[in-house]
Amino acid sequence: MKKEGFENLNVWQRSRELVNQVYLMTKDSKFYKDRILMDQIRKSAISVLSNISEGYERGSNSDFIRFLYISKASCGELRAQLFIAKDQGYINEKEFEQTIDTSRRVSGMLGNLISYLKNQKGKNKILKVKDN
């Protein structure tokens, strides 16, 4: 029997991929010149994943939606920081495009899940939520 939990959400799985992309990208020695930006990019990616998890575990759609919005905002923050990293020459165009694309996909998935949950009127439990 498959246990239900945030780990089964497609958006959480894609966010985990985003975190791994960011960590791989920031291991490059160019980022060591700018530890503040490296730390902030990592924190933004971690925030996307963590807020999905925390919101889910709160146990209500209203709390989950609130944390999904925070997660979505962190996607935007991450994209802004990726532009800075690219402009400073810390990442190449391919790394930039791949990570921006993943972040946009996660942001879209979050928006879809938020819409889905908002339409679940009268349902306060999120245990059987399905996302795209």
Percent of the chain with pLDDT over 90: 80
For residues 63 and 61, what is the distance between their CA atoms, to the nearest angstrom? 6
Tokens of 82: 């990726």
The mean pLDDT of the chain is 90
Whether the predicted pLDDT of 23 surpasses 60: yes
Q: What is the pLDDT of residue 111?
A: 97
Q: What is the pLDDT of residue 87?
A: 96
> In the chain, what are the domain boundaries?
6-118
For residues 7 and 74, what is the distance between their CA atoms, to the nearest angstrom? 19
- On whether the 6-118 domain is CATH 1.10.3470.10, my answer is no
Q: What is the pLDDT of residue 33?
A: 84
pTM of the predicted model as reported, rounded to 2 decimal places: 0.87
